[in-house]
Structure 1
Amino acid sequence: MPGPLEGLRVLEIGGSVAGAYASTVLADLGADVLRVDRAAQVPGEPHPPAPDPLARGRRSAAVDLRHPDGPAVVLSLVEHADVVVEGGRPGVAEKLGIGPEQCLERNPALVYGRVSGWGQDGPMARRAGHDITFLGVAGALAPTEPGGAPAVPPPYYLSSFAGGALPLVIGIQAALLERSRSGRGQVVDAAIAEGTALLAVMVDQWRRTPGRVTVVDAPFYRTYPCADGRHVSVGAVEPHFYRELLNRLDLGDVDLPDQYDEAGWPVLTEHLAAAFGRRDSTEWEKVFADSDACVAPVLAPAEVAEHPQLKARGSFVDVGGQLQPAPAPRLSRTPATAPAPAPYVGQHTAPALRDWGLGESAVADLLASGAVKGV
Structure 2
Amino acid sequence: MTGPLAGLTVVELGGIGPGPFCAMLLADSGADVIRIHRPGDAGRAPNPVLDRGRRCIAVDLKSPNGIAVVRRLLDRADAMIEGFRPGVLERLGLAPDVLRSTNPRLVVGRMTGFGQTGPLAARAGHDINYIAQAGVLNSIGRPDDKPVPPLNLVGDFGGGGMLLAFGLLAALHSARETGAGQDVDAAMVDGAALLMAMTWGFAAEGRWSPTERGVNLFDGSVPYYDTYECADGKYVAVGAIEPAFFRALVEGLGLADRIDPARQTDAATFEQTRKLFSGAFATRTRDEWVAHFDGVDACLTPVLSMAEATRDAHLRDRGTFMTVDGVVHPAPAPRFSATATASPAAPASAGAHTDAILAGLGFGPAEVAALREEGTVA
- TM-score (norm. length: structure 1): 0.93
Is it true that 1:182 corresponds to 2:178 in the alignment?
yes
Quote the Cα distance in structure 1 between the aligned partners of 2:86 and 2:47: 30
| Aligned counterpart for 1:302 among listed residues 297, 302, 307 | 307
Quote the Cα distance in structure 2 between the aligned partners of 1:326 and 1:218: 34
* 1:357–1:31 CA distance, 2 compared to 1 (3 A): farther
Partner in structure 2 of residue 118 of structure 1 = 114
Partner in structure 2 of residue 274 of structure 1 = 279
| Aligned counterpart for 1:238 among listed residues 235, 242, 247 | 242
Partner in structure 2 of residue 24 of structure 1 = 24
Aligned-partner residue type, residue 52 of structure 1: P
| Aligned counterpart for 2:229 among listed residues 222, 225, 231 | 225
Quote the Cα distance in structure 1 between the aligned partners of 2:362 and 2:184: 25
Count of equivalent residues: 369
Partner in structure 2 of residue 346 of structure 1 = 351
Q: How does 1:72-221 map to 2 (within 5 A)?
A: 72-206=68-202, 208=207, 212=212, 213-215=215-217, 216=219, 217-221=221-225
1:148, distance to aligned residue in structure 2 (A)? 4.9
Identity score, percent: 43
Superposed CA deviations along residues 140-165 of structure 1, whole A, max 9, x for unmatched, are 22221323531111110222111011
1:5, distance to aligned residue in structure 2 (A)? 1.0
CA contact (8 A) 1:82 1:110 kept: yes
* 1:209–1:158 CA distance, 2 compared to 1 (3 A): closer
Is it true that 1:312 corresponds to 2:314 in the alignment?
no
Structure 1: where are the runs of 5+ without partners? none
- TM-score (norm. length: structure 2): 0.93
CA contact (8 A) 2:250 2:259 kept: no
2:111 match: secondary structure? strand
CA contact (8 A) 1:206 1:214 kept: no
> What is the CA RMSD across the aligned residues, in angstroms?
1.8
Is it true that 1:250 corresponds to 2:246 in the alignment?
no
* 1:209–1:8 CA distance, 2 compared to 1 (3 A): closer
Aligned-partner residue type, residue 359 of structure 2: R
Quote the Cα distance in structure 2 between the aligned partners of 1:269 and 1:356: 65
* 1:289–1:158 CA distance, 2 compared to 1 (3 A): farther
Quote the Cα distance in structure 1 between the aligned partners of 2:202 and 2:251: 25
CA contact (8 A) 2:199 2:208 kept: no
CA contact (8 A) 1:16 1:86 kept: no
CA contact (8 A) 1:77 1:357 kept: no
CA contact (8 A) 2:107 2:172 kept: yes
Quote the Cα distance in structure 2 between the aligned partners of 1:165 and 1:51: 16
Q: How does 1:314-329 map to 2 (within 5 A)?
A: 314-329=319-334
CA contact (8 A) 1:256 1:268 kept: no
Aligned-partner residue type, residue 53 of structure 1: V
1:107, distance to aligned residue in structure 2 (A)? 1.2
Runs of 4+ in structure 1 displaced over 4 angstroms? none
Quote the Cα distance in structure 2 between the aligned partners of 1:311 and 1:283: 21
* 1:165–1:51 CA distance, 2 compared to 1 (3 A): closer
* 1:188–1:359 CA distance, 2 compared to 1 (3 A): farther
CA contact (8 A) 1:241 1:293 kept: yes
Quote the Cα distance in structure 2 between the aligned partners of 1:87 and 1:301: 29
Greater mean deviation of Cα atoms: 49-58 or 21-30:
49-58
1:279 match: secondary structure? coil
Quote the Cα distance in structure 1 between the aligned partners of 2:188 and 2:233: 36
CA contact (8 A) 1:164 1:190 kept: yes
Greater mean deviation of Cα atoms: 297-306 or 148-157:
148-157
